[in-house]
Amino acid sequence: MPLDHFGSSKGQKHFRNRYWVNKSAYKPGGPVFIYDTGQQDASGVAPDMLSNDQSVFKQLYRQYNGIGRFKVSGIKETLTPNKTPWIYVGPSYAGFRAAQMRRLYPDTIYASWVSSAPVEFRIDASAWYDPIWKGLNSLGYGNCTADIQAAVRHIDGVLDQGKPEQTQKLKEKFLGLGVNGSDSGFATALSIVTWQFCSWMEIEPETNKTAPAGGWASVKGAEWVVDRWAAYPWFVDMVNGQLPLNCSGSLTTRSDECQLDGFATDPTSIASNWQTCLETGLYLGANLGPHQLVSKYLTLEYSMSACPSYFPNAPADLLPTTTNVDKTNAAYGGWSIRPSNTFFAVGELDPWRIVSIASEESYAPKGVKITRKIPKCGESTGPNKVFGIVLKDGVQVTDLRDDIYDVPDSAVAQELFKSALTEWLECFKPKP
């Protein structure tokens, strides 16, 4: 499908875009659901999502297709937004797009489900780690957060000393022989695994005992925790999978592909980083303070330095020195976005809640109420209310996951959207 990229250089105004269609449950008259996978390649997501009988997307197809309310002539006419309501569903950044599609193109998109979406962009997103701290503690992993903090502060102490031999041994302990790069690059690698190992970390292998409330650091010392973290069997694979690295993780095998300050060259990463550098920001740095989970060497300055590395030949008037998030927020509404026929779902413990419509950060608007009262079709909730739900114990995109019983509010969110959509569809009138 040709899409307009709003460019005109050399006459190339469009690019080819892949998409997937599942029409197995579709009958003329039913709404068309559009699922946006965001920055990632949809080739692995879309087929699985459409073939899984338990997916909420499949349930939406079952519930609404074939309702036979809208009488139109043929298949071609049936699928146009003039004749059939198009419903946009998006998680995370794609949720931002879902809200914007309803806001900017209400004649095309009739309703939107906005899941875990950022709505306000800013340079500093270091608070991203605070909900992780809160979530781990609320779920009974306070011993793990204590250990992570003790470990990163111990690591910071080693890096602070600036002794090359000690620093190199520390990096090799985690990533193996051949690791090379800056302390900030090392801190970035450590930040990939900041909670996933908690169940493993807090059980002593020799005795099978669980760590006390203060973590193992309180009884064995921070260095023991650092060693335990470095021994996590999946650490290196997770880091290699998220960063453009191929570290060995071994003190006997050397890798020549463990350059910490490199950057990804795949098209998806390049496109995503272009948008980050140009428009959205949200750079991660250490959440210094009582909830610190990552090394202080993960700085905003280091995160932002990737932009000129990714795009060294970009004209200065095109790629600004600092991401112009104020311009982006002014163009797309920021905190004030309130499109009609739009449902917002936010996980209580979602790291991106910090810039969501339900943010509780000091820089977010005060007095905004999240209401489950369904607004009338075509009507905005106004500035002080948002139609949606904050899912208790929910993380990112919990509302769209299939394992809804892990977080009871997932089922509540799904039913709330279905109820709202049922009411809104009553108002849809096909256009000539």
Q: What is the pLDDT of residues 311-355, one digit of tens each?
A: 888 887 888 889 999 999 999 999 999 999 999 999 999 999 999
Among 159, 182, 157, 190, which Cα is nearest to 305's? 182
**Residue range 267-298, pLDDT digits in tens:** 888 888 889 999 999 999 999 999 999 999 99
Distance CA 17, CA 109 (A): 19
Q: Which residues have a Cβ under 8 Å from the Cβ of 65 and sit 6 or more positions away?
A: 25, 26, 27, 30, 31
203: phi then psi, degrees, rounded to nearest 5: -110, 120
**Residue range 369-417, pLDDT digits in tens:** 999 999 999 999 999 999 999 999 999 999 988 765 588 999 999 999 9
- For residue 73, name the pLDDT band (cuts at 50, 70, 90): very low
Q: Which carries the bigger pLDDT value, residue 103 or residue 23?
A: 103
Q: Which carries the bigger pLDDT value, residue 242 or residue 51?
A: 242
Distance CA 129, CA 296 (A): 13
Distance CA 340, CA 338 (A): 6
Distance CA 121, CA 335 (A): 9
Give the pairing of strands 369-371 and 385-391.
Answer: parallel
Q: Please report, for the chain, the start and end positions of each structural domain, with discontinuous segments joined by +.
A: 15-119+335-425, 123-310
- DSSP string of 273-316? HHHIIIIIEEE-----STT--S-TTS-HHHHHTHHHHH-TT--T
**Residue range 202-237, pLDDT digits in tens:** 999 889 999 999 999 999 999 999 999 999 999 999
In 3-state terms, what secondary structure has residue 259? strand
pLDDT for position 341:
98
Q: Which residues have a Cβ under 8 Å from the Cβ of 261 and sit 6 or more positions away?
A: 181, 182, 184, 185
Q: Which residues pair with 180 in a beta bridge?
A: 259
The topology under which CATH files domain 15-119+335-425 is Rossmann fold (3.40.50)
- Residue 75: pLDDT above 50? no
- Residue 246: pLDDT above 80? yes
**Residue range 90-122, pLDDT digits in tens:** 999 999 999 999 999 999 999 999 999 999 999
Q: What is the pTM of this model?
A: 0.88
Distances (CA, A) of 408 to 6, 175, 291, 349, 415: 43, 39, 27, 14, 11
